[in-house]
Amino acid sequence: KVVRLAVIPGDGIGPEVVAATVPALRAALEADGHRLDVTSFDWGGERYLRQGAAMPPDAADLVKKTDAVLFGAVGRPDVPEHELVWGLIIGLRQQLDLAVNLRPVRAFPGVPTKVRDTDGVDLVIVRENTEGEYVGAGGVAHAGSGHDLGIEVAVHSRRAIERAAHQAFALAGRRSGRLCLVTKSNAMRYGYPLWDRVVREVGEQYPGVELETVLVDAMAARMIQAPRSLDVLLASNLFGDILSDLAAVLAGGMGMAPSANVLPDAEVPGIYEPVHGSAPDIAGKGVANPVACLLSGAMLLEDLGHTDAARRVRDAVADTLRDTRHHTADLGGNATTADVASAVLHTMESQ
C-alpha cells in the first residue's frame, strides 16, 4: 500500500523537525512493505513574502488529494502573525472542518520535567477545533477615537460540541472511562453553559464513562498539582489551546507534544503537527527537538491504520529518550535534531 503524505514544513524550525520525521515514517512503513509518497508544499511565511499569501486558494483541495498532512510550524518575525495563522493553519483546520485536535501528553522515562512526580502521566486533550473563540468574529467600535472598544465574539454550536464530545467519550471509553470537561460557566453565561448541557446529554449515550466538569482555572492548577488524576479532557478551542501547552510541561516541554487535527470517520485528511511553534530564536541551528513532530507522525500512521508502524516509531522515540545523550537543549542535553533523528532510525532498524 502507498501512503500519500502531504508535507507542509512551514517556517522556523518547522522544516527541521519535519525533515527529521519523514525518514522515520518511511522506514516504519517500509518495514511492513508499504511505501511513502511525499508531496511537499512550500506554504508559509516565505511564500507570503513572495506571493502575498501563505497558501494558495485551492490549498484545501490540494491536500484533499492526499491521505494525511504532516505540518511543521508557521510564524516568522517579519510577517504579520495573522497572515500565517489565519492564512494557513487556522484556515486549513476550519476549511477542512477538522472537528477535533487531539493532544496527547505522555511522560517518557528518562526525560526531566520541571514538575515533580510526573511518572506515568498519560493524558489526552480533545480540543474542539473549528470555532469557539477562534471564529474571528467581532470588531472594533470607535476605533482610534480614544474610546476604542474591541468586541470579540465566540460561537459555540451544538453541532461542534457534539462532534467533539462524541470523540472524547469514545476515547475515554477505550481508556480509563473518565472524562473531564473543562468550561468556565460561572463567569461566562451562554457558550460554556451550552457546553455543559450538550456534553452531559451526549454522555447519556456512554454510560460506561464518568463525566466530571471542572472550571478552566481550577483545571490549570490541577494539571500541575495532580496530573495523574486526569485521563481524557474535553475543552473548547481556546481552553484546549492553553491547557495543551501547559500539559506539555508534564512531558518535558513544548518539544514533546504532538497533535492531530482530525475529522474522524470522514474522507478528509488529518493534519498532524507538533504543538510547538516555529521558534525563530533557535531556527536554522539544527538544535530543535524533533520528538513532538515524530510523535505527530506516529499519530498519523496510527490513524491511517498502520498500527504496527506507528508503534515502531513511538517505541523508538521512547527508547531514544531513555538515553540523555539523545536529549536536545530544551531537555537539558546537547543533541542536535539530526542526532535524535538518526538515533530513532537506528533504534527502529534494530528492533
Ligand X SMILES: CC(C)[C@H](C(=O)O)[C@@H](O)C(=O)O
CB of 21 to ligand X, least distance (A): 17
Residue 134 touches a second copy, criterion: CB under 8 A: yes
Our CB check for ligand X shows the closer of 188 and 338 to be 188
- Does 241 qualify as catalytic in the annotation? yes
Choose between 241 and 339: whose C-beta lies nearer to ligand X: 241
Task: Choose, by CB under 8 A, the member of 254, 262, 309, 321 that binds a second copy.
Answer: 254
Neighbours of 101 (CB within 10 A): 26
User: What is the rounded CA–CA span in Å between residue 108 and residue 87?
Assistant: 35
Cβ atoms < 10 Å from Cβ of 154: 18
Catalytic residue among 122, 196, 245, 315: 245
Report whether 232 contacts 123 (CB < 8 A): yes
- Residues at the interface with ligand X (CB under 6 A): 85, 89-90, 186-187, 217, 241, 275
Q: Which of 6, 54, 123, 249 is the binder for a second copy (CB under 8 A)?
A: 249
Instruction: Quote the CA–CA distance of 99 and 102 in Å, as a whole number.
Output: 10
Question: How far is residue 52's CA from residue 154's CA, in Å, rounded to a whole number?
Answer: 28
Enumerate residues 73-132 that contact a second copy by CB under 8 A: 75, 81-82, 85-86, 90, 114-117
Cβ at position 112, least distance to a second copy in Å:
9
| Residue 94: Cβ-neighbour burial (10 angstroms; 0-12, 13-18, 19+) | middle
| # residues contacting a second copy (CB under 8 A) | 63
246 to each of 66, 105, 240, 343, how far by Cα in Å?
Answer: 32, 10, 10, 28
For residues 79 and 52, the answer to whether their CB atoms sit within 8 Å is no
The distance of closest approach from Cβ of residue 12 to ligand X in the complex, given in angstroms and rounded to an integer, is 12
The reply to whether 48 sits near a second copy by the rule CB under 8 A is no
User: Is the separation of the CB atoms in 75 and 87 below 8 Å?
Assistant: no
Say whether residue 186 binds a second copy (CB under 8 A): yes
Q: Is 268 in the site for a second copy (CB under 8 A)?
A: no
Q: Shortest approach of ligand X to residue 217 CB, angstroms?
A: 5
Rank residues 238 and 338 by Cβ distance to ligand X and give the closer one: 238
**Amino acid, res. 70:** L
Which listed option, ligand X, a second copy, none, makes contact with residue 156 (CB within 5 to 8 Å by class)? a second copy
* Interface stretch with a second copy, choices 155-163, 172-180, 313-321, 341-349 (CB under 8 A): 155-163
At residue 259, what are phi and psi to the nearest 5 degrees? -155, 160
Interface residue list for a second copy (CB under 8 A): 75, 81-82, 85-86, 90, 114-117, 133-134, 136, 138-140, 146-159, 184-195, 198, 216-218, 220-221, 224-225, 237-238, 241-246, 248-249, 253-254, 277
